[in-house]
Amino acid sequence: MKRRSISLAAVSALVLVLGPRVGPSAVLENAMASAERRHPLLFASAEEIARAKQRAAKHDWARAVYDGIIAGAERALVDAVEVPDRGGQWSHYYSCPKHGVRLKMESPTRHVCPHGGEVYSGWPYDDVAVTYTHHKYTADLENLGLAYAFTGDRRYAERAREILLAYAAKYAGYKIHDVRGGERASGGKRFAQTLDEAVSLVRVAWGYDLIYETLTPEDRERIETEFLRPSVEVILRNRAGKSNWQSWHNAGIAAVGFCLGDAGMIRTALDDPKHGFRYQMQASVLSDGSWYEGAPSYHFYALSALAYTSEAAHHAGINLYDIPAYKSLFDGPLDLVYPDLTFPGLNDADRFSLLGQERFYDLAYARYGGERYGAVVARGNRRNLFALLYGAETTPVDSDLAAGSVDLDGLGCAVLRDGIGADGRYLLLDYGPHGGGHGHPEKLQVLLYGLGQELAPDAGRLAYSVPMHGSWYRQTVAHNTIVVDQQSQQPTDGRLMLFHTEAGFQAARAVCTGAYEGVALDRTVIVLPDYIVDVYRAHSDAPHTYDWVYHNIGRVRADVTTFECRQPLGKDAGYQHLERLRRAQAPGAWRAAWQVEGGQVRLVAADGCGPAELFFADAPAQPPTTRMPLVICRREGEGAVFVSAIELVPRQVAHCVESIALKGWMGPPGARGLAIEVTTTDGVESFWIADDPETAGAQIVYVPAGGKKRAAP
């Protein structure tokens, strides 16, 4: 039978395959020692287990994590082991197709929408219930293994053994199946995707590793040859290349490889030239430390897989933490977060808090140190497994997490920040790569945070099986940008032409020519202490309909007379979802205000941009059973320009902007620009924005009321 510890032959193979970066002496020393040691090695050494127990005795946060593991293990002892007879289905199916909300399981065959009361049964809902049972046993194995390591109570090890042997007996009989019930390479056995197969396998392998010493040679042989190795074979059917899928594939393969001392698996997981960990660091990590899919949710989803792989390697003496791109994945999110430490729902992402991801920063602080990592740890509650096993005993006091304005040039987001703390203002101009399969058609959209909350959000996502995810959340009209001819943008990227920050005057400008054939989009945003200027232009040689779209939370009122629209504004591209549609004419300037908690968002649209047709509607929001006000300003022609001032006005504070006007194009050929005047309570302020974003010299000239002229090159 193959030995569980890494053999000397395996070490030699690893050194040959991975080269000197592995640190062969460390691998050799670890391997020789592991042959004699009778304690877990995969993700936690005996020393780390002992320190975790000590932390639990000293710190309330550690005790909460420790007690949670023991409680989970105790629950796993209650019922007899009855692993399912078949594999489960895609969890994204477990939402109401009508309302988009997650279903409530009243029984394995009865699934109820909590919003509308609809009842679902049969495929795929009953099969998702099977998936949840597989997930339960996965969690049980981890809890039981850790509980045994912490306490030495053989009851936990015995129950984990029962689960592993039950799967060993049934795994061969599970059919390969994908999310449509077919047998594509992406399909799994316990689950409908190799992705989920791999995610679960990481924890399964750890549970096995933690109780290894209690198993007979015959038990180990059955578990390894009938469950663990076949699971890897299923995953290896699907070579996913650059993707979060492959990162999880690598994590599952690495977990089994390091657990069993299989040099071939380790080589595949770490150094496969088109799929391995090192390849992912080259292909999937952007220059600013963002995951290439451009969605914060998927950033941390991929990072979770990478963390498991790096820790398995770390415990075998292989250092993956010295790869700069890997470290940057911990840094990038810290430059993206809103002032309240939540993330915008860019692309296929949800709104969530950085502090909900603090386990990664407990790990990063343990492996790298660093003030900003420590700042995240200090702000969290530390009730996570990484903190219990690897975390520092103490956290830094008064550590700095503050981020200033930054161009995230890999992600393609220019972030302009003004103010301090959770009440600061934050404006994001999205110009970057589409984001692959999880990207949305929203080039040159803006997101706005202020008054202590997200004000103008990204649409985010729903469960992918819900029809509205595609018909609304992945449509351009669901974002704060321009829609041309009521059709969504093509997948594309833009270019940042200007990024300027100085005290009291910040600006960004981006262009995009690939969203619509023959149409160039050009947006400039200027952040000043009292208000924001937004200048969005569209150019074409042919006539088009241009819809400038803006979503904002709160109750909206406008200074125009509106009339009910009896017909939908459109039948597709998201327009079919607009409710309570109202229409107005704006021959010149117009105003709107959104009442929000803590104040008001005022938008003053400029005079001089030409007549416009306005549409006000309620649009799907998050959750999808709620609605958010939307305004569309529509102009037609070969080109259009939309100029506005946006002011965030706290309660009991008077507004600043009285009016804004486009004065026309001024300057000689080659240096012509758009002239804008803003009348404020302090006087008239003027702006000149170059017509050509690649013009030589200044792109923006700003003259404050009674102040000195400033220029942005």
* 25-53 pLDDT, tens digit each: 444 345 434 434 445 689 999 999 999 99
Encode pLDDT of 328-386 as tens digits: 999 999 999 999 999 999 999 999 999 999 999 999 999 999 999 999 999 999 999 99
pLDDT of residue 697: 82
| Lowest model confidence (mean pLDDT) among 369-373, 394-398, 415-419, 674-678 | 394-398
Q: Are 389 and 70 in contact (CB under 8 A)?
A: no
Say how many C-beta atoms besides its own lie within 10 A of residue 543's C-beta.
Answer: 10
Encode pLDDT of 107-158 as tens digits: 999 999 999 999 999 999 999 999 999 999 999 999 999 999 999 999 999 9
Mean pLDDT of 193-197: 98
Q: Are 163 and 81 in contact (CB under 8 A)?
A: yes
Encode pLDDT of 683-711 as tens digits: 999 999 999 888 878 899 999 998 899 99
Per-residue pLDDT band at 396 (split at 50, 70, 90): confident
- Cα 423 to Cα 67, 418, 419, 462, 594: the distances in Å are 37, 9, 7, 29, 18
pLDDT of residue 694: 87
The answer on pLDDT for 8 being more than 60 is no
For residue 703, how far is the Cα from the chain centroid? Answer: 39
Mean pLDDT of 534-542: 97
Per-residue pLDDT band at 395 (split at 50, 70, 90): confident
Average pLDDT, rounded, for the chain: 93
The answer on pLDDT for 399 being more than 80 is no
pLDDT of residue 12: 38
Mean pLDDT of 662-679: 89
Mean pLDDT of 232-247: 97
CA angle at 449 for the pair 443 and 454, rounded to the nearest 5°: 95
Encode pLDDT of 249-271 as tens digits: 999 999 999 999 999 999 999 99
Phi, psi for 304 (deg, rounded to 5): -60, -45
Burial 444-459 (b: 16+ CB within 10 A, else e): bbbbbbbbbbbbbbbb
pLDDT of residue 706: 85
- Cα 575 to Cα 55, 231, 514, 567, 617: the distances in Å are 55, 45, 22, 11, 10
pLDDT of residue 1: 38
**Rounded to whole angstroms, how far apart are CA atoms 199 and 305?**
8
The answer on pLDDT for 4 being more than 60 is no
Mean pLDDT of 290-306: 97
Per-residue pLDDT band at 422 (split at 50, 70, 90): confident
pLDDT of residue 33: 42
Per-residue pLDDT band at 15 (split at 50, 70, 90): very low
Specify the DSSP class assigned to residue 639.
Answer: E
Identify the CA nearest to 61 among candidates 311, 338, 326, 381: 381
pTM of the model: 0.93
Phi, psi for 539 (deg, rounded to 5): -125, 145
The answer on pLDDT for 640 being more than 50 is yes
The answer on pLDDT for 10 being more than 60 is no
pLDDT of residue 379: 93
Identify the CA nearest to 560 among candidates 601, 600, 616, 606: 616
pLDDT of residue 281: 98
pLDDT of residue 128: 98
Percent of the chain with pLDDT over 70: 94
As beta bridge partners, residue 519 has 516, 540
The residue type of 490 is: Q
Q: Are 160 and 178 in contact (CB under 8 A)?
A: no
**Rounded to whole angstroms, how far apart are CA atoms 695 and 673?**
10
Mean pLDDT of 621-638: 96
